Amino acid sequence: MKNQSRKEFLQQSAMAGAALLLSSLEAVAFTENKKIKIGIVGCGSVSGQYLPHLSKSAHVELVSVCDIVLERAKNRAKEFNVPHVYEHIYQQLGGAPFDLLVNLTDMQEHGRLNKMALASGKHVWSEKPMANTYKEGKALLDMAREKKLRIWGAPAVVNSPQFAFMSKAIQEGKLGKVSAAHAHYGHEGPHWSAFFYEKGGGSLPDLGVYNLATLTGLLGPAKSVIAMTTIVTPERTVDNKGKIKVEAEDNAMIIMEHAGGVLSHVQSGFNYFDPYGHGGKGQDRHTISIWGTKGNMGLVGYDWAPFGVDLATMDSPTPVRHVPDPKTYVWQEGATVISQSLLDKNEPLISPEHALHVLDIIESARASSQTGQKISLQSSFRWPIV
């Protein structure tokens, strides 16, 4: 970024995205598909949320499912009428043809499997994170560009009407000059799989990732971060491995500096009791708050499942609740939405550069915690999003 202004970089990224979409559309058109053919790898917990959504889409044809625990793939195939079942990704990639791999495996497997999919000519939608490190993720994006393919990563929080409302309020100056923001998300930690607690796992890539995507999406790319991460529960019992040692952070706090002196704070963890349960349904409190010189606003519910935005301004100081209805938005819609984009010639709001920037923040937060230093970031993405 040294010889290029941030604005030029953002403009170029947007143009590169649009050009790539067109070239990948040509690839899809070449296969004469009217639907995007999908292969799913990873048939665990989250596939039970993705498959119902994907199977209802008119733009999607479910071709295959794959899981190293073959029984899981067989069960999902039966449940959702998917014709081809595989135990290993190389069998899936070389088997019944498809356009887009939807990667729903353990976080530590994402980079490796996404690379295999790109190498065999598939577009990729990956659950978060897109790779284990920013460097690995950036190499995947470069590889996709070279091969005229597309790769995207969760989360899909920028698609919610609540995100759009907040972003427009900021862009229109309703808050005056924005100065500070806070976001939090946590629960008691997943009980089904060990990977959440092993090296490469952690509450930041699993939970903090949503708040980081929302706050950078609203306030712009982070220029630097400073953070502390800890382990509060050093041992856990999980369904697939019994008693395990926790190796990845389960408690994290990050402060980000955005352009114009804006500071924001994200906290996430696997040791948060929530009286409203995992989904936070029925709660009235704000999990995201943004302050400016002339107003403030708060997101009700979690950013992945929001219930409204409370806005108060100098001109209208009694808080008013807006956008109480998420409409068609659901957090598990990412793969469906980008499939539609591949066919409809729209560039989606979700961008791989944004997902990689969030990964950069997570990696830098860990480096900051280890060294006690503030870490500068070079990565960026096109902004504002809405």
Ligand X SMILES: NC(=O)c1ccc[n+]([C@@H]2O[C@H](COP(=O)([O-])OP(=O)(O)OC[C@H]3O[C@@H](n4cnc5c(N)ncnc54)[C@H](O)[C@@H]3O)[C@@H](O)[C@H]2O)c1
> By the criterion CB under 6 A, which residues form the site for ligand X?
41-46, 66-69, 72, 89, 104-107, 109, 113, 127-128, 192-193, 206
Torsion of CA 272, 277, 281, 285, to 10 degrees: -30
Is 297 within 8 Å of 182 (Cβ atoms)? no
Question: For residues 138 and 94, what is the distance between their CA atoms, to the nearest angstrom?
Answer: 25
- Residue 332: CB minimum distance to ligand X, A: 7
Question: For residues 153 and 137, what is the distance between their CA atoms, to the nearest angstrom?
Answer: 10
> Which one, 113 or 144, has the nearer CB to ligand X?
113
Alpha-carbon Rg of the chain, whole angstroms?
A: 20
> Which one, 45 or 171, has the nearer CB to ligand X?
45
- Residue 209: CB minimum distance to ligand X, A: 8
DSSP 41: E
- Residue 87: CB minimum distance to ligand X, A: 8
> Which one, 11 or 45, has the nearer CB to ligand X?
45
Is 82 within 8 Å of 76 (Cβ atoms)? yes
Q: To which residue do tokens 């990639």 refer?
A: 93
Q: Give the CB-nearest residue to ligand X.
A: 44
Torsion of CA 65, 71, 74, 76, to 10 degrees: -70
- Residue 278: CB minimum distance to ligand X, A: 8
- Residue 162: CB minimum distance to ligand X, A: 18
- Residue 380: CB minimum distance to ligand X, A: 24
CB within 8 Å of 32: residues ≥ 6 apart:
none
DSSP 319: -
> Which one, 127 or 257, has the nearer CB to ligand X?
127
> Which one, 274 or 310, has the nearer CB to ligand X?
274
CA neighbours closer than 13 Å in the CB half-sphere of residue 16: 19
> Which one, 50 or 381, has the nearer CB to ligand X?
50
